[in-house]
Structure 1
């Protein structure tokens, strides 16, 4: 079970790095060849697992929270 969790966390962190780099779920989705909804869902799951928000949603864009910047 631990390996599955580690693999999932690794995948979420890769998506987080992409979204943080672009500050856009849409541009991240284009880079990773998935839908923006898939990126949003994965970020929501990561935030739930970590227990804090990583992004402020501003209109259609994103800003990193203090926690997101530290991560």
Structure 2
């Protein structure tokens, strides 16, 4: 994983595990959030990430740190 994706991974872990409210998101009962909402709110608070980068981070961790929903629209920390 390159430096940029490593930074995004750390940011996602912080947001999805500890502070979703810091960017104005709320996780559902299973801990998932819409990828588009995560990206939109992260960008609105000064972080520049894309949905493709979120998917790359999840793939790089091979399901150990993050998971994408079966329909491919939501992400959560494991």
With normalisation by structure 1, the TM-score equals 0.47
Higher relative contact order (CA closer than 8 Å, sequence separation 6+): 2
Choose between structure 1 and 2: higher helix proportion.
Answer: 1
Q: Which has the larger radius of gyration?
A: 1
With normalisation by structure 2, the TM-score equals 0.45
